[in-house]
Amino acid sequence: MGRCSLFCFLCILCLLGFESRGVSGLACNWGLQSTHPLPPDIVVRLMKDNGFDKVKLFEADPAALKALGKSGIEVMVGIPNDMLASLAGSPANAEAWVQQNVSTFISKFGTDIRFVAIGNEPFLHSYKDMFTQTTFPALQNIQAALVKAGLGKKVKVTIPLNADVYQTDSGLPSGGDFRPDIRDLMLKIIKFLQDNGGFLTVNIYPFLSLQADPNFPKEFAFFNNTANPVVDGPITYTNVYDANFDTLISALEKNGFGQIPVIVGEVGWPTDCDPNANIENARRFNQGLLDRIAKGQGTPKRRTPTDIYIFSLIDEDNKSIEPGNFERHWGIFNYDGSVKYPLNMGNGKTIVQAKGVKYLSRQWCVLSPSAGNLDPNVLSQSISYACQYADCTSTSPGSSCGNLDPQRNASYAFNMYYQTMNQRKDACSFNNLSVVTTVDPSQPPCRYEIMIDIGKHDLSASGCAKMAGTRSRLLISLLMVLALVINGAR
Q: Running DSSP on this structure, what letter comes out for residue 173?
A: G
Angle (CA) 33 20 332, round 5°: 35
Among 121, 316, 327, 449, the one annotated catalytic: 121
Considering only CA atoms, which of 76, 244, 253, 252 is closest in space to residue 159? 76
Rounded to the nearest angstrom, the gap between the alpha carbon of residue 249 and the centroid of all alpha carbons in its chain is 24
Q: Is 150 helix (H, G, I), strand (E, B) or coil?
A: coil
DSSP string, 254-310: HTT-TTS-EEEEEE----SSBTTBSHHHHHHHHHHHHHHHHHT---SS--S---EEE
Among 266, 316, 327, 449, the one annotated catalytic: 266
How far is it, in rounded angstroms, from Cα 457 to Cα 359? 10
Angle (CA) 153 115 197, round 5°: 45
Residue 253 annotated to the active site: no
Residue 59 annotated to the active site: no
How far is it, in rounded angstroms, from Cα 230 to Cα 74? 36
Q: Running DSSP on this structure, what letter comes out for residue 314?
A: B
Write out the E strands in 289-417: 308-310, 344-346, 349-350, 364-367
Nearest 5°: phi and psi at 301? -95, -15
Query: How many CB atoms within 10 Å of residue 194?
Result: 17
Considering only CA atoms, which of 217, 187, 208 is closest in space to residue 126? 208
State the catalytic residues: 121, 266
